[in-house]
Structure 1
Amino acid sequence: MRTDGRVRRAVPEDAAAAAAALARAAEDEAVVKWITPDPAVRRRRAEEAGEYFAAWLTAMMSTGEVHLVEAGGAVAGLALWQYSDAGAGPRVEPAAEAPGDDADDVLRRVYGDDLPRLLLVNELVGERHPAGVSYWYLAQIVVVPELRGRGLGGALLRHQLERVDEQGTAAYLEASSPRNRVLYERHGFRALGGPVVLPDGGPLLQPMWRPRADRGE
């Protein structure tokens, strides 16, 4: 399959295809595996939660930005960015806010008995967000399994970081694996304090900060 690495900003019409890619790509992600340890349950939820993920991504498009990278005309990966204005925090917490008025009911239907773990992740992560400074927050970045290792994640990062540098803004994220940390370090991120420790042998989430570029002004 051709992988040209071109990245574009998603629009609402992309929501269904982007949701399908997100569900498939996130199924083996470290935090998702900790939230839902049973692989059969993860697979079932990925298959059944398409409508929720599509609505959630559409909401993210209105409060932040969703970027897509395509391969052979199909969505191969996506990155979700939120802008935090002087420490006010991202307007949508990553994977914790459901669209619509019945958010709690939606989340219970999607995550079932694992919902407390999802909420705990977001609580622990939220406590570490920088305060008193503006920055772009990378809420999530994923690539479908069969196309990993081809530079698509790097393409997604570069697409936004070039703009971040033009704006003279900082960027922030959490690395969920040593491999991801290496990728982020290659793009100018550095560890910010110690890791967020998930209980019960969960992954270590390393907060990382990329300072605003010196534009020589």
Structure 2
Amino acid sequence: MAAVVDTLTRAFDPDPILNWAFPPAAANREQSMAAFFRITTELLLEHGGQVGVAPEYAAVAVWSPPGEPALSELEQTRYFQRLADACGECGERAVALMRALDDQHPPGLPAHYHVMFAAARPEPAAVGRAVLLIRALLKLEELRGCGLYAEASSPQNRDLWLEMGLRRVGDEIVLPAGGPSLYPVWRAPDPPAA
């Protein structure tokens, strides 16, 4: 888990969404971001999620299967409290980010996998590995009959998803207090094999 969290923390360091949730001037920013990624990834894994990695953890993707994580109200409250406690002065914004993703998930989508995180280390070669990792995910046999949903954290990331065959879906997710937007993207389920 440590290598996954390290890659996510490094990759999202300059990201506009994470800079909103974990401002660069915040005390213990890196530790707070690492706690955010660890707690969220552990939650997804506890509910059937999976982690895909490129060699040497140059790129990482974390996703959950259709219908997961279907948290009870108590589980969600505990998750948000863990985030708030572990992320220190950034805890309130970390919780606001995750609430926004939950509250603004486009309604009525067919069964789908949800890619929570997809990232590459800042080294130049790693970005290509991230694209290869997502393309491999899109070809997984278990995706047959299910869609794929993600929230791109920047216009550049949105464009990468669109180049891989996804399309925009729903409204932009605008974070509170003048925060930046996330861009929901979607790939419809493959038609059944004849």
> Would the TM-score normalized by the shorter structure come out above 0.5?
yes
Q: Is 2:152 aligned against 1:175?
A: yes
Give the deviation of 1:66 after TM superposition: 0.8
Task: Show the 5 A alignment for 1:9-20.
Answer: 15-20=1-6
| Structure 1: 5+ residue stretches without partners | 1-14
Instruction: Report what 2:69 is aligned to.
Output: 90
Match of 1:127 among 90, 103, 112: 103
Computed over aligned residues only, the root mean square deviation of the Cα atoms, in angstroms, reads 2.9
Give the aligned residue type for 1:115.
G
Q: CA separation in 1, counterparts of 2:88 and 2:40?
A: 17
Task: Give the % identical residues.
Answer: 27
User: Which structure is higher in helix share?
Assistant: 2
Consecutive unaligned residues in structure 2, runs of 5 or more: none
Could you tell me whether the CA contact under 8 Å between 1:60 and 1:66 is conserved in 2? no
User: 1:196 pairs with 158, 168, 173, which one?
Assistant: 173
SS of residue in 1 equivalent to 2:190: coil
Whether the aligned pair in 2 keeps the contact of 1:90 and 1:137 (CA below 8 Å) is no
3-state SS of 1:141 partner:
strand
CA distance in 2, matches of 1:214, 1:102: 36
TM-score w.r.t. the length of structure 1 is: 0.73
* Partner of residue 67 from structure 1, selected from 52, 66, 69: 52
Number of matched pairs: 189
**In 2, distance between residues paired with 1:201 and 1:48?**
21
2:187 paired residue number: 210
Alignment partner of 1:114 is 2:106? no
2:13 corresponds to 1:36: no
User: Could you state the TM-score of these two structures normalised by the residue count of structure 2?
Assistant: 0.81
| Structure 2 equivalent of residue 45 of structure 1 | 29
Deviation at 1:145, TM superposition (A): 1.1
Q: Name the CA distance, whole Å, in 2 between partners of 1:156 and 1:135.
A: 18
1:146 and 2:123 equivalent? Answer: yes
8 A Cα contact 2:83 2:94, kept in partner: no
Change (3 A) 1:165 1:179: farther
* SS of corresponding position for 2:4: helix
